């Protein structure tokens, strides 16, 4: 379904000064940044992943939940989910090099949550829970280019196929995963398990794994047939799943048991389970696969894990209720400024 043009969706960049410290006079190069969303602060924290130091914070809309970053590390797109009484209707666009924030309006769609960006950075895909739809936005203008109804309840997280011809959407209340053909517009919903929420696609594109939090299972979907190939038992309210860059392991956060599970993707067997902080949800893995970052939303801390030894190296704080995270490559920050 293609909606009519919604008018200029990008409302302009709003100057947002980050409180960096200590002050200096020249831009500070940072090889990578970890962008962490603090849901209860309505902010994005920009973190040096090597040290856990918060280099600055930028404002978002109400209730930021998920974030995706362009491959060049320049722009971060944030879904502003809103609150129960005021559902979100916007995305925030962060320029990580200039430390500015702008807004994209997505009305009449509401409760944006899951988000992904095309490899060339021209398209943004976002789920809208309040509207039962997935949107494709023009990243440059913010215009809604396409909208696809999922026909499912609480369409939450999504991933794109490797050829970017399909999207896979986890639907919590329907306990399913919807495959959307971006060329034909056809949709196909695959039953997975109660509370289908976390989702990721293997680096080779052959499998999509869905974490079914209420069923306490992982569903393995064959992307060639779009059918469930296997079901893996996994207790503790599995809520997010992420593949390592080499595809050999899948890391999963269990919000009900305060643990993180690690699966061998070849055998689909559990190889490790480790305690982290209270209510782990968001997961980010470094591009080299060496470190895993887990957002413990109830503890207001991020756990840093050595992926090889599976030992927690330490934790750091970014703000209240951290959740969605994304890696930004080769970002540069502007000169720090003090706030009054």
Mean pLDDT of all residues in the chain?
Answer: 90
| pLDDT for the residue 332 | 52
| pLDDT for the residue 99 | 86
| pLDDT for the residue 18 | 32
Residue 227 lies in a domain: yes
How far apart, in whole angstroms, are the C-alpha atoms of residue 153 and residue 170? 10
**Per-residue tokens: 55:** 């280099």
Q: What is the pLDDT of residues 108-163, one digit of tens each?
A: 999 999 999 999 999 999 999 999 999 999 999 999 999 999 999 999 999 999 99
Residue 308 lies in a domain: yes
Residue 338 lies in a domain: no
Residues for the chain: how many in total? 340
C-alpha of 267 from chain center: 26
Residue 319 reports pLDDT greater than 60: yes
Convert 204-220 to b/e letters by CB count within 10 Å (16 or more is b): eeebbbbbbbbbbbbbb
Q: What is the pLDDT of residues 4-40, one digit of tens each?
A: 333 333 333 333 323 322 233 233 445 799 999 999 9
How does residue 98 score in pLDDT terms, banded at 50, 70 and 90? confident
List, edge to edge, every strand of the sheet that includes 100-105.
Answer: 10-15, 100-105, 87-95, 75-82, 64-69
Residue 338's Cβ-count burial label (10 Å; 0-12, 13-18, 19+) is: exposed
Residues 6+ apart with CB under 8 A from 229: 207, 220, 221, 222
| pLDDT for the residue 15 | 31
Residue 63 lies in a domain: yes
> Domain range spanning residue 122?
28-333
Number of domains observed in the structure of the chain: 1
**CATH number, domain containing residue 156:** 2.130.10.10
Residue 1 lies in a domain: no
Residue 293 lies in a domain: yes
Please state, for a pLDDT cut of 90, what percent of the chain lies above it: 86
- Strand-pair partners of 46: 35, 56
Residue 20 lies in a domain: no
Q: Mean per-residue pLDDT for 223-239?
A: 96
Q: What is the pLDDT of residues 177-210, one digit of tens each?
A: 999 999 999 999 999 999 999 999 999 999 999 9
DSSP state of 298: T
Q: Mean per-residue pLDDT for 328-335?
A: 64
Q: Mean per-residue pLDDT for 224-246?
A: 97
Residue 13 lies in a domain: no
């Amino acid at each position: 379904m293609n909606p009519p043009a919604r008018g200029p969706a990008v409302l302009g960049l709003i100057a947002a000064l980050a409180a960096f410290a200590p002050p200096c006079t020249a831009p500070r190069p940072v090889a990578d940044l970890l962008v962490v969303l603090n849901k209860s602060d309505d902010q994005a924290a920009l973190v040096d992943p090597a040290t856990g130091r918060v280099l600055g914070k930028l404002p978002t809309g109400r209730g930021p939940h998920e974030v995706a970053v362009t491959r060049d590390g320049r722009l971060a797109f944030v879904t502003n989910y809103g609150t129960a009484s005021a559902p979100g209707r916007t995305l925030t666009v962060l320029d990580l090099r200039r430390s500015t924030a702008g807004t994209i309006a997505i009305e009449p769609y509401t409760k944006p949550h899951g988000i992904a960006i095309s490899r060339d950075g021209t398209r943004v895909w976002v789920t809208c829970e309040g509207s039962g739809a997935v949107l494709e936005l023009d990243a440059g203008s913010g215009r809604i280019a396409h909208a696809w109804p999922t026909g499912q309840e609480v369409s939450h997280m999504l991933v794109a196929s490797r050829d970017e011809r399909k999207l896979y959407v986890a639907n919590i209340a329907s306990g399913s995963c919807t495959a959307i053909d971006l060329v034909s517009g056809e949709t196909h919903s695959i039953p997975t398990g109660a509370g289908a929420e976390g989702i990721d696609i293997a680096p080779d594109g052959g499998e999509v794994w869905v974490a079914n939090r209420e069923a306490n299972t992982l569903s393995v979907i064959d992307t060639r047939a779009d059918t469930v190939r296997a079901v893996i038992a996994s207790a503790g309210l599995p809520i997010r799943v992420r593949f390592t860059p080499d595809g050999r392991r899948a890391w999963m956060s269990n919000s009900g048991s305060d643990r993180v599970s690690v699966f061998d993707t070849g055998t689909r067997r559990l190889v490790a389970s480790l305690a982290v902080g209270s209510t782990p949800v968001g997961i980010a893995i470094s591009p080299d696969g060496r470190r895993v970052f887990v957002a413990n939303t109830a503890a207001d801390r991020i756990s840093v894990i050595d992926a090889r030894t599976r030992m927690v190296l330490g934790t750091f704080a970014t703000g209240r209720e951290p959740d969605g995270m994304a890696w930004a490559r080769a970002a540069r920050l502007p000169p720090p400024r003090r706030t009054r």
